[in-house]
Amino acid sequence: MSVQKKEIKRITTNVLQSMKRKGEKIAMLTAYDYTMARILDAAKIDVLLVGDSASNVMAGHETTLPITLDQMIYHAASVVRAVERALVVVDLPFGSYQGNSKVALESTIRIMKESGAHAVKLEGGIEIKESITRILTAGVPVMGHLGLTPQSIYKFGTYTVRAKEEDEAQQLIENAKLLEDLGCFALVLEKIPANLAKKVSEMLTIPTIGIGAGSGTDGQVLVVHDMMGMTKDFQPRFIRRYLELYDLMLQATTNYIEDVKSVQFPNQGEQY
């Protein structure tokens, strides 16, 4: 008797580019752990981003700056172990690529070897051109990230919408074109005006993935904790909550505590 192996069509960078050509939208979410990644992959998410937002939602830091390369690799390896279908992209954390392209390649190689991920994401445009080129030369797919780039929060000063003014919008357009010309396979556009994101998306042949950038991009990404309603005190207008998990989990925990204290848990059927 032969054992039939389940055939799963994996999402690759080529699949994403053909989705753009066909006008099929790309759905991306962040993931940082095995159990969550299994659920998102089972639902057929196209891309899982092991974002450095792990610094905020997993570790409780105010910014994405403190997370280390070792910590990103730990999260990425957990996600990769869970995934059968999605493309797994990992953020290069702050300090692991900006300084020089050799360091950028070394960080990338560690991520690829130690986690088994499929691609990396870097924040920025022309200023990180050499790092992107070197990573691409090593055969690793790169996703770009423009607009609000949280690793530069202390330069911006706030998390408000970027590129509202003409000169910053023009700079973003030039950087987007540069990232495509360098060979990036996709581009995240974060918190920029919807009409600018649409213009950039129409101008590029590579897919754009928006967050707070309107409906004109080729796909959307949200931080999974926001989308599931676990982060109650973070409520920017671009987030849609598909669950109110904070409330549900709070209630479940309250019920559990009550049951333990009143000796209603465990019952006869829940013991040996």
Question: What residue ranges bind ligand KIV (CB under 6 A)?
Answer: 30, 49, 51-53, 91, 188, 190, 211, 221, 223
| C-alpha neighbours within 13 Å on the C-beta side of residue 255 | 7
Q: Which amino acid is at 256?
A: Y
Judged by CB, which is closer to ligand KIV: 20, or 121?
A: 121
Burial class (CB in 10 A: 0-12, 13-18, 19+), 226: buried
Judged by CB, which is closer to ligand KIV: 40, or 188?
A: 188
Task: Say how far apart CA 219 and CA 11 lie, in whole Å.
Answer: 14
Shortest gap between Cβ of 204 and ligand KIV (angstroms)? 17
Q: Is 190 tagged catalytic?
A: yes
Shortest gap between Cβ of 57 and ligand KIV (angstroms)? 8
Shortest gap between Cβ of 177 and ligand KIV (angstroms)? 20
Task: Say how far apart CA 170 and CA 217 lie, in whole Å.
Answer: 18
Judged by CB, which is closer to ligand KIV: 242, or 265?
A: 242
Pull the structure tokens for residue 74.
């730990």
Peptide bond into 236 cis (omega under 30): no
Shortest gap between Cβ of 50 and ligand KIV (angstroms)? 8
Burial class (CB in 10 A: 0-12, 13-18, 19+), 201: buried
Asked if 67 and 55 count as a contact pair (C-beta separation under 8 A), the reply is yes
CA dist list (Å): 132 to 2, 5, 31, 64, 124? 46, 37, 24, 20, 10
Shortest gap between Cβ of 213 and ligand KIV (angstroms)? 10
Judged by CB, which is closer to ligand KIV: 169, or 220?
A: 220
Residue nearest to ligand KIV (CB): 51
Judged by CB, which is closer to ligand KIV: 7, or 196?
A: 196
From the list 165, 190, 244, 270, the catalytic residue is 190
Q: String of b and e for 107-129 (b: at least 16 CB within 10 Å)?
A: bbeebbebbebbbbbbbbbeebe
Asked if 40 and 11 count as a contact pair (C-beta separation under 8 A), the reply is no
Shortest gap between Cβ of 206 and ligand KIV (angstroms)? 16
Judged by CB, which is closer to ligand KIV: 53, or 96?
A: 53
Cα–chain-centroid distance for residue 250?
A: 26
State the catalytic residues.
190
